[in-house]
């Protein structure tokens, strides 16, 4: 595609104000209260996330990129030629570029990304770097049903690409539901390539979510700024602070926004009272052992065909089949 073909092909299903408001009201009515981490990614949130990936403490992105570089030829042989690559939560598309360059004659690429700004940037760049591939971008929340665009040229199969350990941002039941939907999207001969962060030294993991420059804290708090702007809530940005701790029994980072005082917040005409010290859950980042990951995907009818690991810091790529 040319850049303008790629932008013309955009399917725009970006969540609207009503959808976001309904999700936030639902989360604020839970105990503990929770806000969905998918709403981190407005234009500024996506930029802050890119900045996180360059912090010295945040090892997952650079570790996965390096691993992908090392094994991309092997992956290309394993998945075969003429693929329609579909990526969930494509962000900046840095990993994609690496993968698409390694694959044999890929037919089409469909990035599914909730942040329209991040999607348009990445598609413009990729269309220029890889003009022979048909770009079929979709701006959407990938946890909701999406009808995928069909490439002009018939692909041999679909390859779902889900890097970055984004799977870890889902609670167990949601992860199983998502993997199950992925299995259906793959079809009988399709494959999925998933990046997973692995359980390791809790101090290393915790530092990745508490960078010294405070970028992760700014990223977390940006959620409140975004909600104030887009759904008219009145969260006091100085009234909450970022906290991220690794739970060893649950194998996950639990990121919270903690109320610094007793306060009242209004959302869509409703009032929500926070106690001093009350914590709102905003994100989980699950880390995996082989046993836990194997059990999770088995629940969705998937299994590991091939796997590659980086160690120190640890990170894994898994090629899944049904
Ligand atoms: C996108 N996702 C996998 C990141 C993670 O590590 O859970 C988001 C993130 N949150 C804080 N830092 C990075």
Cα 264 vs. chain centroid, distance in angstroms? Answer: 31
Ligand 1 centroid from CA 177, angstroms = 20
DSSP helix/strand/coil, 252: strand
What pLDDT, on the 0 to 100 scale, is given for residue 36? 98
What pLDDT, on the 0 to 100 scale, is given for residue 227? 98
What pLDDT, on the 0 to 100 scale, is given for residue 301? 98
Ligand 1 centroid from CA 86, angstroms = 20
Nearest to 151 by CA among 90, 85, 79: 85
Cβ of 212: how many Cβ atoms within 10 Å?
A: 9
Ligand 1 centroid from CA 321, angstroms = 25
State how far the alpha carbon of 173 is from the alpha carbons of 114, 169, 216, in Å. Answer: 21, 12, 26
Rounded distance between C-alpha atoms, residue 191 and residue 177, angstroms: 17
Ligand 1 centroid from CA 61, angstroms = 10
**Where are the strands (E) in 122-220, listed by range?**
134-135, 138-140, 157-162, 191-197
DSSP helix/strand/coil, 306: strand
What pLDDT, on the 0 to 100 scale, is given for residue 222? 98
Cβ of 183: how many Cβ atoms within 10 Å?
A: 20
What pLDDT, on the 0 to 100 scale, is given for residue 131? 96
Whose alpha carbon is nearest atom 4 of ligand 1? 166
Rounded distance between C-alpha atoms, residue 209 and residue 206, angstroms: 5
Assess whether the C-beta atom of 52 lies below 6 angstroms from ligand 1. yes
What pLDDT, on the 0 to 100 scale, is given for residue 118? 97
DSSP element (H, E) containing 83: strand 83-88
What pLDDT, on the 0 to 100 scale, is given for residue 112? 98
Cβ-based burial of 320 (10 A; exposed 0-12, middle 13-18, buried ≥19)? buried
Assess whether the C-beta atom of 166 lies below 6 angstroms from ligand 1. yes
Quote the ipTM score: 0.99
Whose alpha carbon is nearest atom 1 of ligand 1? 166
Which token pair is 4?
């303008």
Whose alpha carbon is nearest atom 2 of ligand 1? 166
C-alpha neighbours within 13 Å on the C-beta side of residue 246: 18
What pLDDT, on the 0 to 100 scale, is given for residue 13? 97
What pLDDT, on the 0 to 100 scale, is given for residue 137? 98
Rounded distance between C-alpha atoms, residue 259 and residue 318, angstroms: 39
Ligand 1 centroid from CA 285, angstroms = 7
pLDDT tens for the chain, 322 residues: list them.
Answer: 999 999 999 999 999 999 999 999 999 999 999 999 999 999 999 999 999 999 999 999 999 999 999 999 999 999 999 999 999 999 999 999 999 999 999 999 999 999 999 999 999 999 999 999 999 999 999 999 999 999 999 999 999 999 999 999 999 999 999 999 999 999 999 999 999 999 999 999 999 999 999 999 999 999 999 999 999 999 999 999 999 999 999 999 999 999 999 999 999 999 999 999 999 999 999 999 999 999 999 999 999 999 999 999 999 999 999 9
Rounded distance between C-alpha atoms, residue 230 and residue 233, angstroms: 8
């Amino acid at each position: 595609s040319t850049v303008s073909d790629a932008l013309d092909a955009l399917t725009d299903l970006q969540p609207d104000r009503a959808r976001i408001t309904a999700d936030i009201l639902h989360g604020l009515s839970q105990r503990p209260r929770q806000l969905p981490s998918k709403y981190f990614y407005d234009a500024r949130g996506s930029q802050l996330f890119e900045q996180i990936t360059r912090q010295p403490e945040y090892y997952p992105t650079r570790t996965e990129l390096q691993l992908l570089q090392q094994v991309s030829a092997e992956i290309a042989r394993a998945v075969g030629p003429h693929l329609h690559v579909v990526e969930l939560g494509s962000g900046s598309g840095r990993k994609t570029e690496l993968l698409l360059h390694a694959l044999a004659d890929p037919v089409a690429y469909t990035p599914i990304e909730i942040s329209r700004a991040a999607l348009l940037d990445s598609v413009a760049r990729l269309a220029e770097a890889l003009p022979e591939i048909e770009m079929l971008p979709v701006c959407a929340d990938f946890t909701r049903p999406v009808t995928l665009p069909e490439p002009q040229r018939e692909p041999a199969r679909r390859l779902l690409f889900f890097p970055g350990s984004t799977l870890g941002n889902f609670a167990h039941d949601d992860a199983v539901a998502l993997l199950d939907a992925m299995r259906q999207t793959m079809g009988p001969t399709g494959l999925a390539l998933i990046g997973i962060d692995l359980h390791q030294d809790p101090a290393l993991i915790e530092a990745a979510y508490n960078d010294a420059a405070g970028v992760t804290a700014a990223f977390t708090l940006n959620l409140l700024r975004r909600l104030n702007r887009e759904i008219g809530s009145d969260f006091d940005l100085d009234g909450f602070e970022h906290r991220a701790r690794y739970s060893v029994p649950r194998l996950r980072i639990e990121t919270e926004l903690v109320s610094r005082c007793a306060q009242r917040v209004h959302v869509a005409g409703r009032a929500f009272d926070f106690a001093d010290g009350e914590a709102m859950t905003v994100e989980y980042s699950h880390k995996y052992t082989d046993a836990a990951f194997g059990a999770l995907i088995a629940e969705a009818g998937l299994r590991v065909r091939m796997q590659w690991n980086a160690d120190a810091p640890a990170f894994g790529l898994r090629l899944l089949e049904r």
